[in-house]
């Protein structure tokens, strides 16, 4: 038996899913019980003695701001959704397939890990969108949902940028015929060796410890300068490349105008994938070069020195810009991390499931205009829940927003991180509600 409570002289505005006419007020309640997604009714007695019933897909519990005075109207709400807080109500409005009703939205946490762009694409495939959050209790509701996923601690490596190089990175530009091709079953950036290359936005990583890492497959014959990633036109900053003669180099120029670090080492394979990592460890005052997780070379760097910055706005994948020479082969998962990784940590970053999990994607972003945050459904940003000192656009490279699992607060972070995501969509009337049914009782 579903119980209803009544309130005279008010009505819930903005949530009417259908209006029906009935012979007496109690039949409005029956109609609500039998209507999927109905949680309350506005009843109005007509002069004929009949009544109109406005069936609402929300309640004054979920949307208290929409309960308005209305003369001659009676508001009826299902008892199940009355007098409960967000935390208590969360499972009362559970729908099939992990969706939860909140006000006029359906919300679901997807635990699989995606970049922000991939997550948004997944939403759009099901006619949905990354969630927008407009109120404190809505934020609280969603942070409750995050209890469904387990965290792996907060000692996360600070991923500044991660380009998968599979065609989903919106800020990677292909130049002179660079393409994305399937290679060994994985979509990768393909450069033919005759001018094709790609660019990323410049990333400010010079003044902290950092790691530049990528998967590479050089195709024979190997070009003399097979540049993996660089900013190497005057005034140069850094370069990571392979020679046709067989070694790898990590070079840079420091704030004292010295070519430091400068490491030439190793023997990368040809026609086979390898993993390269160039590291500047500012605590140990040492630069390192890793091949397939093994340290192959080091170079001491001066205490307090750092990579000299310039005003270049893009960096190059596959191009040694001063010489105009390009790499022949495939690249994948170019990552910049704001600390010096160990060999074991290098092994972990190649597996997205080992990246520590501290939050989930919501829709908020400042991808279009730096510092101007917006929701993907164009709702106005009327409510925010930033964590302390956020948003900080750290490394000039944080344009997507995660909700942190531990406190439910927001932090701008790199869009290329792979996180679970929260989705919202509009209810469809064909969805069956898992709630008690039966005739109403007062
Ligand atoms: Ca930003
Ligand atoms: Ca941030």
pLDDT on residue 345 = 78
CA of 394 to the centre of ligand 2 (A): 6
Neighbours of ion ligand 2 (CB under 5 A): 390, 392, 394, 398, 411-412
| Paired strand residues for 374 | 365
With 0-12 CB in 10 A as exposed, 13-18 as middle and 19+ as buried, what is 220?
Answer: exposed
pTM of this prediction? 0.56
Which ligand lies nearest the alpha carbon of 398? 1
What is the C-alpha separation between 306 and 341, in angstroms, rounded?
Answer: 17
CA of 412 to the centre of ligand 1 (A): 7
Residue 260: CB partners within 8 Å, gap ≥ 6? Answer: 252, 253, 254, 287, 299, 301, 302, 305
CA of 282 to the centre of ligand 1 (A): 26
CA of 239 to the centre of ligand 1 (A): 26
Which ligand lies nearest the alpha carbon of 364? 1
pLDDT along the chain (442 residues), means of 10: 79 91 87 74 90 88 88 83 49 67 82 91 94 88 79 58 87 96 88 96 87 94 93 96 90 94 95 94 94 92 91 96 95 91 74 69 95 92 95 88 93 90 77 41 46
Instruction: Kindly provide the b/e burial profile for residues 104-118, where b requires at least 16 CB atoms within 10 angstroms of the residue's own CB.
Output: bbbbbbbeebbbbbb
pLDDT on residue 433 = 40
User: Taking the alpha carbons of 365, 369, 374, 378 in that order, is the dihedral positive or negative?
Assistant: negative
Q: Which residue has the tokens 């359906």?
A: 106
The string of pLDDT tens digits covering residues 285-330 is: 999 999 988 899 999 999 989 999 898 999 999 999 999 999 999 9
CA of 388 to the centre of ligand 2 (A): 10
pLDDT on residue 52 = 95
CA of 191 to the centre of ligand 1 (A): 30
Which ligand lies nearest the alpha carbon of 410? 2
Contact 218, 328 (CB under 8 A): yes
CA of 118 to the centre of ligand 2 (A): 20
pLDDT on residue 391 = 96
């Amino acid at each position: 038996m579903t119980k209803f409570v009544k309130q005279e002289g008010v009505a819930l505005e903005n949530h009417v899913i259908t209006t029906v006419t009935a012979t007496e007020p109690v039949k409005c309640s029956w109609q609500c019980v039998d209507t999927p997604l109905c949680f309350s009714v506005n009843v109005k007695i007509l002069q004929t003695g009949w009544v109109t019933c406005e069936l609402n897909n929300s309640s004054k519990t979920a949307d208290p701001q929409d309960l308005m005075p209305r003369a001659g109207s009676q508001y009826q709400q299902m008892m199940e959704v009355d007098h409960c807080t967000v935390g208590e109500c969360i499972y009362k409005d559970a729908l099939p397939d992990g969706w939860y009703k909140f006000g006029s939205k359906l919300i679901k946490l997807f635990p699989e890990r995606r970049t922000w762009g991939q997550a948004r694409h997944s939403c759009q495939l099901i006619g949905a969108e990354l969630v927008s959050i407009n109120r404190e209790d809505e934020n609280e509701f969603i942070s409750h949902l995050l209890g469904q996923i387990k965290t792996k601690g907060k000692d996360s490596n600070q991923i500044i940028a991660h380009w998968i190089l599979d065609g989903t990175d919106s800020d990677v530009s292909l130049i002179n015929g660079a393409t994305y091709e399937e290679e060994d079953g994985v979509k990768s950036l393909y450069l033919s060796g005759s001018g094709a290359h790609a660019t990323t936005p410049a990333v400010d990583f010079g003044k902290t410890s950092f790691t530049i890492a990528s998967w590479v497959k050089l195709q024979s014959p190997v070009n003399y300068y097979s540049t993996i990633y660089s900013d190497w036109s005057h005034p140069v900053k850094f370069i990571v490349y392979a020679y046709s003669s067989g070694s790898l180099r990590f070079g840079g120029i420091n704030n004292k105008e010295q070519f430091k670090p400068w490491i030439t080492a190793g023997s990368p394979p040809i026609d086979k994938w390898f993993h390269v990592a160039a590291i500047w460890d500012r605590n140990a005052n040492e630069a390192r070069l890793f091949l397939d997780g093994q340290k192959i070379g080091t170079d001491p760097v001066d205490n307090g020195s750092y990579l000299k910055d310039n005003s270049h706005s893009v960096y190059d994948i596959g191009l040694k810009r001063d010489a105009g020479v390009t790499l022949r082969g495939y690249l994948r998962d170019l990552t910049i991390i704001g600390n010096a990784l160990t060999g074991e940590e290098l092994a972990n970053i190649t597996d997205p499931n080992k990246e520590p999990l501290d939050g989930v994607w919501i829709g908020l972003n400042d991808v279009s205009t730096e510092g101007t945050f917006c929701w993907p459904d164009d709702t106005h940003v009327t409510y925010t829940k930033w964590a302390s000192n956020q948003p900080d656009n750290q490394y000039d490279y944080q344009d997507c927003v995660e909700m942190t699992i531990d406190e439910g607060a927001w932090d701008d972070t790199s869009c290329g991180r792979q996180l679970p995501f929260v989705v919202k969509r509009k209810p469809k009337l064909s969805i069956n509600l898992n709630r008690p049914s039966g005739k109403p009782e007062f």
